[in-house]
Amino acid sequence: MMRVEYYYDLVSPYSYLAYGRVGRICEENGAELVLRPMLLGAVHKAVGLQAPIETKSKASYQAWDIRRWAEYYGLPLEFPDPFPFRTLKTMRTAMFLRERGELDAFTREAFALYWVEGGAPRGLEQSDEDAPISTVVRRMGIDPEEVLDGAASPEAKQDLKAATAEAVERGVFGAPAFFVGGEMFWGNDRLHFVEAALQS
């Protein structure tokens, strides 16, 4: 079976947009979607890039562009305020739940809470992530305290560092990024190339 490896961070609006489409592309082409959480800020730092939000003219353009893509895809969107928000603990949670086989459900519920329901972290402190993470995992039927403890474990921290380093080593410089075989495609607007690669 062909695979689409999907590198993402829940802070990334274009990752949210891509997530709303890539699953269907995989289904229609008999491919497996493999989720690859990473920490986008660490990727930017490693490759020497600034986040788009740090350039005023680009940030203004993207605010409109993201809404335009959401409308084009037919996806609901409530843009988080403030943005960007902190996701370090969120992505460590993703790594912890990946080991338990629950990454798919966490990713689905977290994207919905953060980008559709206005439930993203409200600040940049570590504690600001606790309530949104707890909401997500309660929906999954998991004890929030257990998950928050797991996300704070040395194993989860190291797993996220390793996953992010692997992404950089493979050539990832932003989110979302997709791999079909050894070929990388970057951005939600390259999904037609992802689909073409699956069909070739």
Q: What's the order of all strands across the beta sheet hosting 3-8?
A: 32-37, 3-8, 177-180, 183-186
The topology under which CATH files domain 3-199 is Glutaredoxin (3.40.30)
Residue-level pLDDT at 199? 95
- The answer to whether the CB of 95 falls within 8 A of the CB of 41 is no
**Domain definitions of the chain by residue range:** 3-199
- Which of 190, 183, 160 lies closest to 2 in space, CA to CA? 183
pLDDT of residue 66: 96
Asked if residue 20 has pLDDT above 80, the reply is yes
If one counts every other C-beta atom within 10 angstroms of the C-beta of residue 59, the result is 13
Question: Cα–Cα distances in Å, from 178 out to 93, 113, 183?
Answer: 21, 23, 8
Residue 57: what pLDDT? Answer: 83
Which amino acid belongs to residue 87? T
pLDDT tens, 107-128?
999 999 999 999 999 988 888 9
Q: What is the mean pLDDT of the chain?
A: 95
Q: Render pLDDT for 140-177 as a digit per residue (tens, 0 to 9).
A: 999 999 999 999 999 999 999 999 999 999 999 999 99
Residue 133's SS3 state is: helix
* Share of residues in the chain with pLDDT > 90 (%): 88
Phi, psi of 128 (to 5 degrees): -65, -20
